[in-house]
Structure 1
Amino acid sequence: MFAAPLRAAEVSMAFGEKIPPFCFPSSNSGIELEVMREALAFKGHQLKPRYFPFARIPVAFRDGTVDAAMTDLGQDMSAAGAQYGEPAVMYDNVFISLSRRQLKILKPADLNGLSVVSFVGAIKRYPEWLEPVRRAGRYVEINDQSAQVKTLMLGRYDVVLSDRNIFKYFALQLKREGVALQPVDETPFVKLNPQDYRPLFRDPQVRDDFNQGLKQLKESGRLQAIYDKYLKE
């Protein structure tokens, strides 16, 4: 049994708008929501999620609209009072292609002649890889990431750029609807850095309590159970 917290708090936290399976604003659920909520609850804190367009998340923290944020979007927010926590979830962007195509994508030039569909904003993050594809007229960004799975299966695009868990989630949804899916290959193309996905808090004590709760989720197997809830067949 855990001791009662000395100072439980309501923690308003900025999340991105609708990022299945990480955030579902309509039900305040999703992998990221549940991990954050349970890690904070370990010491009695209560999560109050607030949803923003991605670009607004660091702004909402900086201007005091929220007490915490899921990400700093690559901006060092220390000067704005950010106390960085341990990474709870990570977005692992990979190139995904049909296995039967046997595509080898090891360097940007390997995308020459291929069409690529990606999430909105990817070209700003990976210009070295994607700008040549855009200039060739073979690059498209779409908001509906379920459409990425469908169009890849139909052969309308050669390559999808997506977080591997987001792609897997939508593929599972299609499979449950009876859609026949082809095997795919995933190709990592940038080194995953966990420090890119650290949540930030205004209160250092809340940050410390969150870190302890996250550690407990990992050690107990609860973190994996939350992932499995959304991603296991």
Structure 2
Amino acid sequence: MQRGYAPYTKRLVVTASGDASSTIASAIAPCSSLTQKAAFFCCSVLAFIATSLLFPFTSIAIPRTIVLGANHSTPPYVIAETQKGLEIEIIKAAMNSQGYDVTLVFASQYRMASLLKSGKLDAVTPVTTSSMPEDTYISDSHITYRNIAVSLTSHNHTIHTISDLNQHVILAFQNAKALLGDEYRNAVGSSPRYLETPDQQKQVHSFFVQQDSVIVLEERIFQHYMQQLPPDKLTAYTVHKPFPLTHYHVAFRDPELREIFNMGLKAIKKSGEYARITGNYPQQCEHNDRTHGPFPTGQKADSQPLQ
């Protein structure tokens, strides 16, 4: 984080109208009676005013910047190395449409809450309605996550509900037990073997290599890492969707900023920019138990889900 960086400041807007020439003449006249130094200062100020008067109804805006806290890299949603990602691009586009720039600070969820409370951040993402920090204002939902279970098609697993996971070996993302609710926690408590991992790239790789588990993770994250594997490492797999969608939001310290973001989000959805951004990333499939593959040698994994 940039030390001493001040969160956003108000915009300066100057407008003018009326008979500019006569106003300028009368304003500059008093400068003749001043000392040289004072006259220079006076005329500099008046020159700025004169510029505004000569161009009625124009505005000079100093862009405002907000400081946004985001999770450490969770591709394709947040990619710290490039300061991009699906979620970051959506937030930047929404704020840019309203005249704001966005500076990013990457931190853990706990650290972000502390920085937000101390005023060093203007906003944090992503949060849910049940996990929003205290004394913040939550935005409209800007992104939706879909957690899935993935199994090898050859295993013929039936996973229609969360409780169906209780009979399978599970490799899940870190903190899945805490985030996916009581039903999930109870189900995997009966699993023959249950593990969680912070490394989701290895999670996806080991699924195709070891071929002995069901993995639980977010759908776009799975597709992101799967597409990095060579075709000869892929095996036909089935996507199961026993989990409800998770709608995420941005939490702001300032209710005005929250409303500005909401307006920007509506604007980019209306203009088509939101769809353009999401179209550059892996898509979510609407179908349950959808089989993908097999993958002949030389064929790349689908970049779009089968419909």
- Residue of 114, 134, 140 corresponding to 1:59: 114
* 2:253 matched residue in structure 1: 202
* 1:90 matched residue in structure 2: 144
Distance 1:208 1:160 in 2: 38
- Contact 2:170 2:195 (8 Å CA) reproduced: yes
Distance 1:202 1:123 in 2: 29
Which residues of 2 match residues 1-233 of structure 1 at below 5 A?
A: 8-72=63-127, 74-77=130-133, 79-80=134-135, 82-126=136-180, 127-134=182-189, 136=191, 138-174=193-229, 177-194=230-247, 197-231=248-282, 233=303
Which TM-score applies when normalising by structure 1? 0.84
Q: Which runs of 5+ in 1 are unaligned?
A: none
SS in 1 for 2:145: coil
CA spacing shift, 1:4–1:75, aligned 2, 3 Å:
farther
Distance 1:220 1:93 in 2: 29
Which TM-score applies when normalising by structure 2? 0.66
**Deviations 1:51-93, CA, capped at 9 Å, x for gaps:** 111333333322322100113353344x51x122111112211
Percentage identity across aligned positions? 24
**Deviations 1:24-77, CA, capped at 9 Å, x for gaps:** 112111111111111100011011111111333333322322100113353344
Distance 2:232 2:60 in 1: 49
Distance 1:12 1:157 in 2: 44
SS in 2 for 1:198: strand
Distance 1:4 1:121 in 2: 50
**Deviations 1:159-214, CA, capped at 9 Å, x for gaps:** 1111101101111121xx444423332222232242xx111112222222211221
Distance 2:106 2:146 in 1: 22
Distance 2:124 2:224 in 1: 24
CA spacing shift, 1:53–1:208, aligned 2, 3 Å:
same
- Contact 2:67 2:104 (8 Å CA) reproduced: yes
Higher relative contact order (CA 8 A, sep 6+): 1
In our comparison, the structure showing a higher alpha carbon Rg is 2
Aligned length: 225
| Shift in Å, 1:137 | 5.6
* 2:42 matched residue in structure 1: none
- Contact 2:163 2:183 (8 Å CA) reproduced: no
SS in 2 for 1:199: strand
- Contact 1:8 1:43 (8 Å CA) reproduced: no
Counterpart of 1:118, as a letter, is A
- Contact 1:98 1:182 (8 Å CA) reproduced: yes
CA spacing shift, 1:180–1:224, aligned 2, 3 Å:
farther
Cα RMSD, aligned residues only: 2.5
